[in-house]
Amino acid sequence: MAWLLIKIDANENNADAISDALMAIGALSASIEDANAETDAEQAIFGEPSSADIQYPPPGIWQQNIVTAMFDESADANQIIHTLCQETGIARFEFNTELIAEQDWVRATQAQFDPIKIADSLWIVPTWHTAPNAGAVNIVLDPGLAFGTGSHPTTHLCLEWLTQQQLTSFSLLDYGCGSGILAIAAKKLGAKHVVGVDIDAQAIIASLYNADQNQVSIEFFDANQFSHQTFDVVVANILSSALMVLAPALAKYCKTGGQIALSGILADQQNQLIARYSEWFNMDAPSQKDAWILLTGTKR
């Protein structure tokens, strides 16, 4: 079986109407994409790090778009466009078509995720891959609902920092554990006692599953039910706004002389976070990957 894709040129004024009309006509799916994606003219409209000074376009839509609709392969593209003109009141459309053959969509999706090298000693390996370096610490982790696969710069920065620490016999708190990846890495890198907390119930479920997959023993808690403990190392890879609010609590969780690592911070947010955490910590020079920052420090 195959499917017919019809790709129609649109703009910010008619893209939604065209998409809705195509679904009413009988499209199996319809999507709107930036016509200038992956070019110098691409527009960032979803709060990307480079888009702070962007004032246009209106929320949620680009100026130039491509509306793509999927139909059964037997559909008549010219008849669909004729009906679309009648439904929208637009006299003419520029469009092209493409046939998509049946394929193994699971394998096609899996092919997008390769093992991720954090350091020579640490890899993130999806379950359908063989570990490239069997002698390294390999974290078995599949992309899922919870944040944290190792591909995002904030997670990568935290993992790389963990590989540089002497964690043997240390205790560690992963605050905002997401998929549990940082907690699992810490345990596999030698931490004696590891705890993860999160406000999202799905994150706790994902973290417990991933810990089991990696055959490590880690405690995971709902943040609202977490009783106070102190740790040698505290790691928090969450939004900078949350890091600001949680600063006193995270400082309280960290032992005197202990280490803290904070990520989820954009470059233009670092000074505010450094000033905030300097109340309790001697802060180190920031580390950066792409537009993202890792802040670390030692508890006074």
Confidence of residue 50 (pLDDT cuts 50, 70, 90): very low
- The stretch 258-277 carries a mean pLDDT of 96
Provide CB contacts within 8 A for 15, sequence distance 6+.
32, 61, 62, 65, 67
Question: Torsion over CA of 89, 90, 91 and 92, rounded to 10 degrees?
Answer: -150
- Tell me the one-letter amino acid at 122: L
Break the chain into its structural domains and give their ranges.
2-102, 148-299
pLDDT digits (tens, 9 = 90+) for 174-200: 999 999 999 999 999 999 999 999 999
Confidence of residue 43 (pLDDT cuts 50, 70, 90): low
68 vs 50, residue with greater confidence: 68
Q: Which pTM value belongs to this model? A: 0.65
pLDDT digits (tens, 9 = 90+) for 206-216: 999 999 999 99
Please state whether 207 falls in left (phi above 0), alpha (psi between -120 and 50) or beta: alpha
Confidence (pLDDT) at 62: 83
Q: Is 46 a residue whose pLDDT tops 60?
A: no
Confidence (pLDDT) at 55: 45
Confidence (pLDDT) at 49: 45
Considering Cα of 200, then 205, then 209, then 211, what sign does the dihedral take? positive
DSSP H/E element including 181 = helix 181-188
Q: Is 14 a residue whose pLDDT tops 60?
A: yes
Q: Is 51 a residue whose pLDDT tops 50?
A: no
Confidence (pLDDT) at 144: 58
Q: Hey, is 201 helix, strand or coil?
A: helix
Q: Per CATH, the architecture of 2-102 is what? A: 2-Layer Sandwich (3.30)
- The stretch 13-24 carries a mean pLDDT of 94
Options 3.40.109.10, 3.40.920.10, 3.40.50.150, 3.30.450.20; which CATH number does 148-299 get? 3.40.50.150
Stretch among 26-35, 103-112, 116-125, 291-300 having the lowest mean pLDDT: 103-112
Kindly report the average pLDDT of the chain as a whole number: 87
Please state the φ and ψ torsions of residue 117, each to the nearest 5 degrees. -90, 120
- The stretch 68-82 carries a mean pLDDT of 94
- The percent of residues in the chain predicted with pLDDT above 90, rounded, is 67
